[in-house]
Amino acid sequence: MKVQAVRGTHDIYGQDLLKYKQLEEIVSKYANIYGFNEIITPIIESTDLFKKPLGEHSDVVLKEMYTFKDRNHSLITLRPEYTTPMIRAAITNNLLEKLPQKFYGIGPMFRRERPQKGRYRQFNQINFEILGTNDISADVDLILLADDLLRNFFPTKKIDLQINSLGDKNTLKIFKENLSLYFKKYTRDLSEESQKKIYTNPLRILDSKNTKDIEINQSAPKIFDYFSDEAKDRFDNIKNLLSDSNIIFEINPRLVRGLDYYCHTVFEFKTNDLGSQDTLIGGGRYDGLTKILGGPDISGVGWAGGVERLIMLMRDIDKNEKKTHLILLHQNFRSYGLQILNQLRKNNIAVYFDYKYDLKKSLSRANKLNSEFAIIIGEEEVKKNQYILKYLYKNIQEILTLDQIIKKLKE
Ligand code: HAM
C-alpha cells in the first residue's frame, strides 16, 4: 500500500514553504503597523458556530463543511473560515469590553470543494477583522491594508479591486424577495444549480458563471435601486474615500460573496494570473453577526486572503545562504567529528553532515546542495588538529585550525 495525501490537501515544502514563511512574516509586520492583534483559535468548533451565521443555504454549509459527531454526540466542524471563530474567541474571552478591537490570524481552513488549481479542501487564510465600529473609515482602512500588502508582495502585478454594497439588512431582504420573483420567471432557462437557489439563495445566482445565467442576470433587479438613503450615503462616501486614497476600483453590482453574514460594503481583489480561482482576497461588513453569536450588538468588517493563491503568484525566494558540508573520511573519527560539528554549530555556523564517510560521495552531495565550503577531516587532520577547508566554487583549499575556520566562515 502506498499511502496518499487526502484529496484536495497538499504538503508545503521547499520554495512554497519559504514563501509561506515570508508571507507570514510580512503579514505579521503589517498587522503590527496597522494595529491588529493576533488570535489563534482551535481548528475544531461546534457546528452551530457556522450553520446559521454562514447561511443554511450557502454552499459552504450545504455541501462543504467537514462535520462529525464527537464521542459525546455533539457536532463538531473543522472551521471553514476564520471570521466566526475569531468573534467567538473575542466573546468567550471577554475581549469586547473596549471597542473597537482589531484582530488578525493565519491558519488552515477546511472546505469540501471540488479540488482544482488554487482550490483545496484544506487551505490557509490570512484574516483581518475590526469589531465594534460601523464607521466607514474602518472599511476603507481594511481595503488600504489589503492593497498595501498586495503591492508589497506583487509590485508589478495587475490586481483589480471590485466593490459593491449589499445595503442594510432590510434592503437586502427586500432585494432578495424581488430577485426571487424575477428569477422565478426564468425557472426553466436557468442552470440546474441556479434553479435550486431561486427561493433559498437568489443572491448567488447573480455571480453564477453559467452563460445562460449570465444572460438572465443582465436584466435582473439591481441592489442600488433598493438602497435606503443611509446605505446609499455610506457607499458613496466609501467610494469617495477610496478615490481620495488613490485606490482604483470597479463597482460590480453582481458581487455578492458566498456567506450570508454580509451587509453594506463587500469587496474582492482579483488577478488574471490564476485561471478561474482568481480571487486573492475577499471580505466585507457583517453588522449583527456578533449578536447572532451571542455577543454584544456591535458591527464588524474584515477580509480574508487565500495563502495558497498568494503563494502561487509569489516569485521564488533566493535563500542566499553559505552552506558548509562536513566530510569525515572514516567512521573511526565519528566522535571527533561530532565534537567539531558541535563547536561549529555553537558558533552559529550552518553545517551539513551526511554520514557517508566517503570523500567522493560527500563531495557530490555537497555539490548537489550547492554548498560553498567543505571541511574535510581524515587521519592526518585528526592527528594535527588542522583541517582542510575547501572552497567548492573556487576549487582551492587551505589547511586551518578550527578557530581559523570558524573565523573565516563567520566573515
Ligand atoms: P471567502 O471569500 O470564502 O471569505 O474566502 C476568502 C479567500 O480565501 C478567498 O478569496 C480565497 O483566496 C481563499 N479561499 C477560499 N476557499 C478556498 C479554497 N477552497 N482553496 C484555496 N483558497 C480558498 C471568507 O472566508 C470570509 N471569512 C472573509 C471575511 C473576513 N469576511 C469578513 N471578514
Tens-place pLDDT, residues 96-147: 999 999 999 999 999 999 999 999 999 999 999 999 999 999 999 999 999 9
> What is the model's pLDDT at position 405?
97
CA of residue 119 relative to chain centroid, distance: 12
Nearest to 86 by CA among 301, 405, 239, 276: 301
The answer, yes or no, to whether any atom of ligand 1 lies below 6 A from the CB of 113, is yes
> What is the model's pLDDT at position 319?
78
Give the residue, 163 or 172, on which the prediction is more confident: 163
Segment 46-51 shows an average pLDDT of 97
Residue 320 above 80 pLDDT?
Answer: no
**CA–centroid distance, residue 306 to ligand 1 (Å):** 6
Q: What is the pLDDT of residues 240-263, one digit of tens each?
A: 999 999 999 999 999 999 899 999
Q: Rounded distance, CA 168 to CA 231, Å? A: 6
Give the Cβ contact number of residue 38 at 10 Å: 12
SS3 content of the chain, % helix, strand, coil (to 5): 40, 20, 40
Residue 248: φ, ψ to 5°: -90, 130
Q: What is the pLDDT of residues 57-68, one digit of tens each?
A: 899 999 999 999
Which atom belonging to ligand 1 lies closest to the Cα atom of 309?
A: 12
The three-class DSSP label of residue 134 is coil
Which atom belonging to ligand 1 lies closest to the Cα atom of 113?
A: 19
The answer, yes or no, to whether any atom of ligand 1 lies below 6 A from the CB of 302, is yes
> What is the model's pLDDT at position 322?
79
Residue 38 above 90 pLDDT?
Answer: yes
Residue 24 above 90 pLDDT?
Answer: yes
The answer, yes or no, to whether any atom of ligand 1 lies below 6 A from the CB of 103, is no
> What is the model's pLDDT at position 168?
92
- Cell, residue 102: 482589531
Average pLDDT, the chain: 95
Segment 329-336 shows an average pLDDT of 96
**CA–centroid distance, residue 130 to ligand 1 (Å):** 17
Q: Map grid coordinates 443572491 to a residue.
A: 203
Q: What is the pLDDT of residues 180-216, one digit of tens each?
A: 999 999 999 999 999 999 999 999 999 898 999 999 9
**CA–centroid distance, residue 230 to ligand 1 (Å):** 28
Q: Rounded distance, CA 224 to CA 165, Å? A: 8
The answer, yes or no, to whether any atom of ligand 1 lies below 6 A from the CB of 227, is no
